[in-house]
Amino acid sequence: MRRLEEGGAAVELRVSDSPGHLVQLGREAADDGVDRLVVCGGDGTLNLVLRELDLVRSRIGIIPMGSGDDFAQALGIPRDVEPACEVLIRDHIREIDVALANGVRYLGVAGVGFDSEVARHANEVRLFRGSFVYLYAILKVLPRFRPHRAVITIDGQRRDEEMMFTVVGNSMRYGGGIVIAPGAELDDGLLDLCIVRRCTRWDLLRTLPLAYSGAHVKRDYVEMLRGRSFEIDSDEPLDVYADGERLTSSPVSITIAEQRLKVVAP
């Protein structure tokens, strides 16, 4: 707060006491006359604030304080508090696409299958933070994971797949630095789909480290596609996670929202 106040901002601190309270704070921000709502937290905190935010009237700022902070990193916002506050003071506004999974908003990457199970386990870890959380969760889920059959429809074109997982990215990265959709851009009006088809657990384990640089796309069982509308219907209901939060379950329809998010960013 001190650095923001030194930069001329009048700051009011509001502490959330539950996920529902975060949603409420986002919903009420515009009516409360807030010039910008600064989210101090990670991707999950930002996701909850976004759920019912007035996208037309509200502006968001971010001070990254989460485990992964992938969305802030994609925007180029520093993870250190002081430089992040400098970004807020400079007041450069970007308009960013917002994605919808069964009508629930998200900003980063929505996943179905293996990566969603990893996200669920990562949320349960309390011993450590950062990329190690996701690595631990991967090793926990992998031994018992089995592939799923799914029907994936891309801009009206249907295809049958047997997948390890499928993700739809508005941003290029998730999971504490995994560049799962290297070509994704935050403001192009499109979403990037990554399908990892059936492979052995060993193949999957060898491929995952490549995703930190985006090199996983060279594997023959990985396919990248781009579009505006996706539907994923799996052989059984599967959780859909995005921004570290559970959004919904399959079958899921994923599209781009009409309004964009106004965010303070470099």
Q: What is the pLDDT of residues 66-81, one digit of tens each?
A: 878 999 999 999 999 8
Per-residue pLDDT, averaged over 85-103, amounts to 92
Residue range 200-228, pLDDT digits in tens: 999 999 998 999 999 999 999 999 999 99
Question: Would you say 253 and 229 are in contact if contact means Cβ atoms under 8 Å apart?
Answer: yes
Segments of the chain assigned E as strands: 37-41, 59-64, 93-96, 99-101, 104-106, 109-113, 148-154, 157-169, 191-197, 222-227, 229-234, 239-242, 245-249, 252-256, 261-264
DSSP characters over 191-243: EEEEEEES--HHHHHHHGGGGGTTGGGGSTTEEEEEESEEEEEESS--EEEET
Q: How far apart are CA 238 and CA 111, in angstroms?
A: 10
The whole model's pTM is what?
Answer: 0.91
Task: Answer whether residue 130 shows pLDDT above 80.
Answer: no
Residue type for position 248: T
Other CB atoms within 10 A of residue 4 CB: 17
Calculate the average pLDDT of the chain.
91
Q: Is 142 helix (H, G, I), strand (E, B) or coil?
A: helix
Separation CA 212–CA 60 (nearest Å) = 28
DSSP summary character for residue 49:
H
Q: Are the beta carbons of 85 and 61 closer than 8 angstroms?
A: no
Name the least confident of 1-15, 42-56, 127-141: 1-15
Which of 29-38, 131-140, 145-154, 255-264 is least confident? 131-140
User: Residue 216: what are its φ and ψ, rounded to 5°?
Assistant: -60, -25
